[in-house]
């Protein structure tokens, strides 16, 4: 499923409430530094010259949509950057976030600005600055074990390590939401399972190290590019969340 416009929705998001979506990536293909087996946008395609929306186009479309929503008496709970890939890859990401906060202040001051990110660009100072201007930074860590992270997320940089991702996440000093998709299945004949005791032990330890202000765990919900994936049950997700809840972490489960 691809988003065919810059601004989409508002939609009711399982995780975020009434959400006005922003897609900074191409409208005809996915562009991402990961190629997750569960990605709702499908597999990556060759995108040698991807057409990204200009900062001005994002501003104008967002303002027009907020004015239209205001006329209908609807206000978003959240303006969410997600879309067809990794939003922080946009070269004007910082400026777009500044514009979005200004538009939010003018048209819907109660709305939060949220970014769903795969964490791969957190080593860049301007990306961290942009994310810190938002209300919610929802940052991905699908496994705390290299082999599993690479199997699930299929990073374009095959050298990417969990250790590196954690070092970048540490730069936020806990001021972020950690998001993890739990799943089981198979990909290219290899077993995928980030719910084993060893996986969970490493993941709990990562959560304790990073101490995020919130933890968001979820399951696959729509069609996935890899067909052989299994949805984790609500009961099992609650069991996964339980040790962190006992320790007082705010944790949301979408299952």
Contact residues for ligand SF4, defined by CB under 6 A: 32, 34-36, 39, 41, 85-86, 118
Taking the least distance from each CB to ligand SF4, the nearer of 69 and 141 is: 141
Residue 129 CB, nearest approach to ligand SF4 (Å): 21
Q: How many whole angstroms separate alpha carbon 216 and alpha carbon 251?
A: 6
Taking the least distance from each CB to ligand SF4, the nearer of 37 and 210 is: 37
Residue 120 CB, nearest approach to ligand SF4 (Å): 8
Pairing of strands 17-22, 7-13: antiparallel
Q: How many whole angstroms separate alpha carbon 196 and alpha carbon 173?
A: 28
Query: What is the token pair recorded at 223?
Result: 């069609």
Taking the least distance from each CB to ligand SF4, the nearer of 86 and 193 is: 86
Taking the least distance from each CB to ligand SF4, the nearer of 69 and 180 is: 180
**CA distance to 33, 35, 155, 214, per residue, from 219 (Å):** 21, 17, 20, 17
In what order do the strands lie in the sheet containing 229-230? Answer: 190-193, 184-187, 229-230
Residue 152 CB, nearest approach to ligand SF4 (Å): 9
Which among 153, 126, 127, 159 is positioned nearest to 140, based on CA atoms?
A: 153
Which among 151, 89, 93 is positioned nearest to 118, based on CA atoms?
A: 89
Residue 39 CB, nearest approach to ligand SF4 (Å): 3
Q: How many whole angstroms separate alpha carbon 112 and alpha carbon 12?
A: 15
Residue 74 CB, nearest approach to ligand SF4 (Å): 27
Taking the least distance from each CB to ligand SF4, the nearer of 35 and 164 is: 35
Taking the least distance from each CB to ligand SF4, the nearer of 16 and 41 is: 41
Residue 115 CB, nearest approach to ligand SF4 (Å): 12
């Amino acid at each position: 499923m691809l988003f065919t416009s810059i601004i989409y929705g508002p939609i009711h998001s399982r995780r975020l409430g009434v959400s006005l979506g922003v897609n900074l990536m191409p409208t005809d293909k996915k562009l991402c530094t990961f190629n997750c087996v569960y990605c709702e946008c499908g597999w990556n395609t060759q995108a040698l010259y991807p057409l990204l929306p200009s900062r001005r186009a994002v501003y104008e479309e967002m303002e027009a949509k907020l004015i239209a929503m205001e006329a209908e008496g609807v206000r978003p709970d959240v303006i969410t950057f997600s879309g067809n890939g990794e939003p922080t890859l946009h070269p004007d990401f910082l400026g777009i976030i500044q514009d979005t906060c200004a538009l939010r202040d003018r048209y819907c001051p109660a709305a939060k600005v949220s970014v769903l990110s795969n964490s791969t660009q957190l080593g860049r100072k301007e990306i961290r600055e942009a994310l810190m201007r938002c209300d919610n930074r929802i940052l991905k860590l699908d496994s705390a074990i290299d082999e599993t992270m690479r199997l699930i997320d299929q990073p374009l940089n095959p050298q990417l390590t969990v250790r590196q991702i954690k070092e970048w996440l540490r730069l936020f000093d806990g001021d972020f939401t950690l998001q993890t998709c739990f799943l089981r299945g198979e990909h290219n004949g290899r077993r995928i399972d980030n719910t084993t005791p060893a996986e969970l032990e490493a993941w709990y330890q990562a959560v304790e190290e990073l101490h995020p202000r919130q933890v968001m765990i979820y399951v696959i919900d729509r069609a996935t590019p890899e067909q052989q994936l299994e949805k984790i049950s609500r009961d099992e997700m609650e069991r996964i969340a339980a040790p962190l809840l006992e320790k007082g972490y705010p944790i949301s489960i979408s299952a």
